[in-house]
Structures are given as structure tokens and as C-alpha cells.
Amino acid sequence: MPAAVEFEPHRRLWLLTGPSTSYAVRLAADDGVRHVHWGEPVTLDQAAELADRDERTPHPAASSFEHGVGPEELPVEGGPRFGPAALRVRFADGTRAVEWRHTGARVEAESLRIDLADRHYPLAVALHYRLAGDVLERWTEVTNHGTTPIAVLRCDSAAWTVPAGPRHRLSHLVGAWSSEFRLQRADLPTAETVLTSRRGVTSHHANPWLAIDDGTAGEEHGEVFSAALAWSGSWRITVHRDPSGRAGFTGGFGHEGLSWTLAPGETLETPVFAGLHTRSGFGGASRSWHRYVRDEILPETRETRPVLYNSWEATGFDVDEAGQLALAARAAGLGAELFVMDDGWFGARTSERAGLGDWTPNPHRFPRGLAPLAAEVRRLGMRFGLWLEPEMVNPDSDLYRTHPDWVLHMPHRRRTEMRHQLVLNLGRPDVAAWTHQWLDALVGDLGLDFLKWDANRPFTEAGWPGHPDPDRVHLAHTRAVYQIMDRLRADHPGLRIESCAGGGGRADLGILRRTDQVWPSDNTDAVDRIAIQHGFGQLFPARVMGAWVTDSPNVTTGRVIPLRFRFHVAMAGVLGLGGNLTAWTTEELKEAAGLVAAYKVVRPVVQHGTAYRVSGGGTLTGVHYVLGADQVILAWCPSRPYGHTPGPLRLTAVDPQGVYRDLDTGATHSGAALLTSGLPLDLPAGDHASVLVRLTRIDDSE
Ligand code: GLA
């Protein structure tokens, strides 16, 4: 069923309906936009009934201390409102309260725009809704139609309301460098809970994604509401639950304390805050997100990501032509399709102390430039890519010596260095133009196929001296990154981009509109990676999840892990190789080549299929990918406490009437058996046991 928007004029009620979700809002008597429904598909009559109930139920009780507004789509300040405001402004005379007047609405096929204006001041707001399947995209525009500036103290993309109830549970992602995307799931306190990044990038520490359920949802059952913000700079989401059990959240760009001056005639447009509802549990929510990312967000929706090789863990900063050629030869021999030279190839970049900003090949390391390396990589049958960190500069660089004013800074304040680097202010048109110009020339000259776009520190002293509205830098910098990427892609159609910020510091729906994959973490330890991938996969599909097989012991954790296990974990995403292949034994190279070949066989199912997370007893977990009749199961059992054999891996995505053949062993399984007693696994004994199983459905009742 295509998405539709309906309007009921008597109640001034709009209903948006997608394949399995409806969303309804209405204009209240005070012209504010009230939330009516988010959940099951309902008819317009049913939505009207819900709106009438909402109108009759006073919000809330009879006490002079309670508020009486009801759930709003974009709460402002003023009136009896005491929750977190989604829009906070201050007019030139000091007034902060807003009172609305409805000025119009526009319905198009799958989208709705509701226009409001302040009753006195020249402030206009447009609330936007667009259905993309069952994902509802929401964003806001605020416009100053007057002649004096208006201060915008907060401008969220959207406020969302979930059904009231005795209990709410919040799922969200936390982390740090090397331990990103750790899923947390705990009861929502009766309080305001803030998820935020004040770092100028999306951040390792919190990701702008969340899910809310009533405490009873599971992987494949239960009602789940989930939302994700499409923004790659600082952000803030405030989740709230009040003592009577009402709950919701509001979110958007910028962290608390920032403000923007809306000049006369100016419009500020927020990023999209997307939301979805499902009755199919956390797994169902993830699958809806995956579909949305693949079909609506990614620039190349149908493309299959290549197996890449990256030099970072092999060489660190010690790159040169001979060393890279040796790695490239081995990588090609293993079946890599894309070779990416990481940090250390430019300027005086022989360590993290110098050279960032001087984007010309180091003449000692690459006396002939990079063209011969690129040519040899291509002769070996691979595409060629480079690591870059375009937003950053080392103070010890020619760029900084020439343009010390190009970085984020504040007068009379020290410039805090992290990893010996500062952040360029890409909000400045001259800095953005320079950045685009050198990137465009580099990509064009070498015909680069791939950029690993890194950003290895957060913002500090994020000022913009001389600018009348210095907090603008938080919006302008991120938008400039977007614009540069968009332009590069438009001008170089073959170019693909990986989003990296010291690992998973910039993974969000905003960056994925212009990138093809994400580097989720600098932690490549396959055991740690299971948890990181579990969290990452709540929102993002395997198609965008870079995953390298690196050396053992692991450089970060020192853990020793068999090659097969390392491969099986990395095969759950976009397989890459990141080890020092020149030190791998002949046996290791042979085994690795076999595993790369095996990945290529299952890759269409992993990258384009539907993912179901499965688990067995003990530490056994896995992912089951389904594409048509083809099924791939990757399962990992990192340890066996007490030597116990893990419990069966019960599949959830098989038809009980179906018959499935194991393509490697020839064994057949009935769907009923796979659902009830599980998939028999031939797990090797001991720790770090893993399997790859390929099934195909062989009955023709499908
Ligand atoms: C960051 C990235 C790494 C690597 C280094 C290079 O830490 O996450 O993968 O590219 O920078 O300095």
C-alpha cells in the first residue's frame, strides 16, 4: 500500500498512513499542533475518535500545578508548558513565549507541511512530515519575516510522543573510542534523560538513535518505537517520562547552550529526525531501519561493496611505495577488490605530530608521486583509495603556519590540541572552498575510487572570531562537510566514501546520505567486535558496516583469535583485510584466500538480504540473512564457560512448512525443526568457535 495523507477538516486532523503504520496530528483550539496517534494503521474515522478522546481528556488533572496543553508536535515556551521545549526563541524585546496562529497546510503524495505563525511576532514555522515506507521523516523550518533579528535558543527537528503506560524502557547506544555502539537497555526513569554529543561530531559516546518499548518487547515480538537523527555534528535528544506515565522525546541539532540569530528574512531548516513503529520487536525495528537506509538514504542503493584492504594496522604511519606495493600484491592475491592506503602518505606526516593539512605526497616516501602506486594497484585488479582527514590540521604544518586563523578558536583562549591537531573552520567559505579544491584535484588527478574520510578529534573552543553569530559554526561546519562530499560525488561519479571519525565517531543518517560505508571502530578484535556490530546493526545494515580481518594478537586488545573466527565476524558486514599480510604464513594466506572467496559467494545475501539476529545458549550469537530462497547464517561462540556446549541456534526467519538444504553438507532441515529445535551447528571445540552456514529453500511452496 502506498503511503497516503488524509485530512478531516472538521477536526483539523491529518492522518499519514504507510504500509503498517499510521501517524495522526490535529490542530487544537489554540492552533497548536497536537499529537494524536503513532502506531497501528487506523482509518480516518478511527483517528477522529482518538482526536475526540484527546480533546475531551483534560491534560491533566485538576490542580493549579499541572500543565494543560497535551502532547505537542513542537512544544514551545509560554503557556502552561513545563516540559522540554523543542523550539525556544527570544524576540528583540525580550519576549520568549510563543503563541500560534495556523496559516496553512500543504499535502502532497506522501508528505504534509503545516504552517504556523506567531500571533504577534514575525516568526513562522513549518512542520514537515514525509512517509518513506513505515519510516516517518520529520523536520522543521523557522523563518524570521520581520526586520529585527530573533534569537533561536533551541530548534529541534521534532518532538515525538509514545503511548503512556506504567513502564517505559529506553534502548540507546553508548561508547568511547575503541568501544563504540554498546547497546544499553534500561527502564526510563521518571525524569528527563539527555542523550547528546557536545563534540561537534556525532560522537563515539552516544549515537542519535533510540528505541522505546514498554519493557516487554523482545527481539521478534512487541511494540517498539524508534527514532534516529540525520545529523553529523553536535546534537541533543531529551527523553522524558512524567509521574503519570506520559513519555516522549524531542531532538535536533546542536547541544544545550548554543544559540543562533535568525536574521530578517532568514529561514533555519533542521535535519530530519526519522521515526518508526513496529510490533515485531527490536529485530523488526532494525529491519525497518535497514530497509530505509538501503532504499532511501544511501547514495548508491543497489551497489555491492567490494572487499577492501587497508594499510593502517599493517604500517601505522610508515608508508612508502615499496611497502604499499608489497601489501597490494598480497591483498590482490587474497581477492581484495579495493586497496586503501591509510595515514602517512602526505606532507611531513611521519607521525601524528605533523603534516595534517599539507595534502601533497611526501617526496621522500613517494618520490614519483602516487600515480605509479595507483597504476600498479589497478594493474593488480583492484580499485585505489586514500585516507584523508580534510577537516583537520597539525599546528606543525605549512597550512597552519600560513593560515593560523583558519581553525576553530576563541580570542584570548588557548587552542586545545588533541592528537596534536586542531579543527579547521569549514563554516568559513574560504576554508571550505580551499578544502573542496584540493580534494577535487586529488580525486581527479589520481582518479581515486574511494576516500576514507576521517576526523580524529572533537571540537573545542568552537568559536568563529569576527562572525556576528559565532555558534553558527556548529551548523555551518557540518553542512560544509556535506556540501563538499556532495560536490565531489556529483563531479566524480565513481567516487565512494567511507565515514570514519577515529572509528565510529561519525555514523548517522546524515552522513550516510553521502557516504557508502562506515568504519564502526578502531577496535578490530573480533570478540569485541561482536558487541560493537550488535549495537551498530540496531540502526545500520550490513551493507555499510566496514569490518576488517587483522592480525593476531590484536593490536588493541592483545587477544589471540583464530583466523577463521576473525573472518566469520567480519563477514557479517563489508569484509575488509587490515593486517600485515607480508607477515602472514603461506597457510594463513591460503586459508584467508578461501575465506575471502567464501565471503564473495555469500556477499549478496549478507549485503542485500534481510537480517535477523539470533542467539543460542551461552555466548552463542549470530546473524541470519535472508534473500529470496537463499539464507546465510554466521554464528560465533567466543567462549565456552565450563566447557558446556552452547544451546541450539533457533532460527526465527524460516517457514515452518519449508524445507531447507545446507549447501555445504547437503543435509536437509524442515522449517519446523529449525524453528523449534534449531540449526545443528558443527562448532569446533574450545573458545572462538564459529560457523558459516548456507541454506537454500528447496520446497516449491515458497
Ligand atoms: C583514525 C582511524 C584509523 C586510522 C588512523 C590514522 O584513528 O580510525 O583507522 O585511519 O586514524 O591516523
CA separation for the pair 623, 609 (Å, rounded): 11
Grade residue 647 by pLDDT with cuts at 50, 70 and 90: confident
Among 694, 630, 695, 627, CA closest to 660: 695
CA separation for the pair 180, 511 (Å, rounded): 17
- Give yes or no on whether 308-605 and 614-698 have one common fold: no
Q: For residue 414, how far is its CA from the centre of ligand 1 (angstroms)?
A: 26
Given this model, what pLDDT does residue 263 score? 98
Tell the residue nearest (CA) to atom 1 of ligand 1: 502
Residues labelled catalytic: 454, 522
Q: What number of other Cβ atoms are within 10 A of residue 176's Cβ?
A: 13
Tell me, rounded to whole angstroms, the distance of Cα 357 from its chain centroid: 27
Per-domain boundaries in the chain:
72-297, 308-605, 614-698
- Answer whether 500 contacts ligand 1 (Cβ < 6 A): yes
CA separation for the pair 659, 654 (Å, rounded): 9
| β-bridge mates for residue 186, sequence order | 170
CA separation for the pair 453, 444 (Å, rounded): 16
Given this model, what pLDDT does residue 203 score? 98
% residues pLDDT > 70 (the chain): 98
CA separation for the pair 125, 118 (Å, rounded): 8
Q: In ligand 1, which atom is closest to the CA atom of 501?
A: 8
Given this model, what pLDDT does residue 356 score? 98
CA atoms within 13 A on the CB side of 73: 28
For residues 5-20, average pLDDT = 97
Q: In ligand 1, which atom is closest to the CA atom of 352?
A: 12
CA separation for the pair 111, 256 (Å, rounded): 30
Contact between 599 and 625 under an 8 Å Cβ cutoff? The reply is no
Tell the residue nearest (CA) to atom 4 of ligand 1: 312
Q: For domain 614-698, is the CATH number 2.60.40.1180? A: yes
Grade residue 379 by pLDDT with cuts at 50, 70 and 90: very high
Substitution site in 456, 556, 577 for ligand 1 pocket (most atoms within 8 Å of beta carbon): 456
- Answer whether 516 contacts ligand 1 (Cβ < 6 A): no
- Answer whether 343 contacts ligand 1 (Cβ < 6 A): yes
Grade residue 247 by pLDDT with cuts at 50, 70 and 90: very high
Among 519, 35, 612, CA closest to 285: 612
Q: For residue 343, how far is its CA from the centre of ligand 1 (angstroms)?
A: 7
Q: At what angle do helices 321-334 and 586-608 cross, to 10 degrees?
A: 70
Grade residue 701 by pLDDT with cuts at 50, 70 and 90: low
Q: Which fold has domain 72-297?
A: Beta-galactosidase; Chain A, domain 5 (2.70.98)
Element (H, E) at 124: strand 123-132
- Answer whether 312 contacts ligand 1 (Cβ < 6 A): yes
Among 499, 388, 368, CA closest to 436: 388
Among 326, 327, 368, 321, CA closest to 344: 321
Tell the residue nearest (CA) to atom 9 of ligand 1: 522
The letter for the amino acid at 258 is L
9 contact partners, CB below 8 Å, separation of at least 6: none
Instruction: Tell me the pLDDT tens digit for each residue of 203-238.
Output: 999 999 999 999 999 999 999 999 999 999 999 999
Instruction: Tell me the pLDDT tens digit for each residue of 572-588.
Output: 999 999 999 999 999 99
Element (H, E) at 56: helix 44-56
43 contact partners, CB below 8 Å, separation of at least 6: none
DSSP secondary structure of 488-499: HHHHSTT-EEEE
Substitution site in 178, 343, 523 for ligand 1 pocket (most atoms within 8 Å of beta carbon): 343
Grade residue 84 by pLDDT with cuts at 50, 70 and 90: very high
Q: For residue 455, how far is its CA from the centre of ligand 1 (angstroms)?
A: 8
Tell me, rounded to whole angstroms, the distance of Cα 16 from its chain centroid: 25
Mapped onto helix, strand or coil, the DSSP state of residue 187 is strand
Grade residue 58 by pLDDT with cuts at 50, 70 and 90: low
Mean pLDDT of the chain: 96
For residues 594-623, average pLDDT = 97
Substitution site in 500, 506, 555, 556 for ligand 1 pocket (most atoms within 8 Å of beta carbon): 500
CA separation for the pair 506, 500 (Å, rounded): 6
Phi-psi category of residue 414: left, alpha or beta, with phi > 0 → left and psi -120 to 50 → alpha = beta
Q: What are 633's three cell numbers?
A: 547464517
Given this model, what pLDDT does residue 212 score? 99
Q: What are 306's three cell numbers?
A: 567490494
- Answer whether 578 contacts ligand 1 (Cβ < 6 A): no
- Answer whether 180 contacts ligand 1 (Cβ < 6 A): no
- Answer whether 503 contacts ligand 1 (Cβ < 6 A): yes
- Answer whether 389 contacts ligand 1 (Cβ < 6 A): no
Tell the residue nearest (CA) to atom 11 of ligand 1: 502
Among 239, 264, 304, 249, CA closest to 121: 264
Contact between 255 and 234 under an 8 Å Cβ cutoff? The reply is yes
Q: Using the 8-state DSSP alphabet, how is residue 272 labeled?
A: P
Q: What are 455's three cell numbers?
A: 576526523
Contact between 305 and 336 under an 8 Å Cβ cutoff? The reply is no
pTM check: above 0.85: yes
Q: For residue 386, how far is its CA from the centre of ligand 1 (angstroms)?
A: 12
Q: What are phi and psi of 383, to 5 degrees?
A: -85, 165
Q: For residue 503, how far is its CA from the centre of ligand 1 (angstroms)?
A: 7
- CATH class of domain segment(s) 308-605: alpha beta
CA separation for the pair 217, 220 (Å, rounded): 8
Given this model, what pLDDT does residue 64 score? 83
pLDDT greater than 60 at residue 442: yes
- Answer whether 313 contacts ligand 1 (Cβ < 6 A): no
Angle at 24 between CA 22 and CA 26, to 5 degrees: 170
Length of the chain: 702
User: Which residue matches cell numbers 512448512?
Assistant: 657
DSSP secondary structure of 618-641: TT-EEEEEEETTEEEEEEEE---G
- Answer whether 502 contacts ligand 1 (Cβ < 6 A): yes
Among 124, 156, 127, 117, CA closest to 143: 124
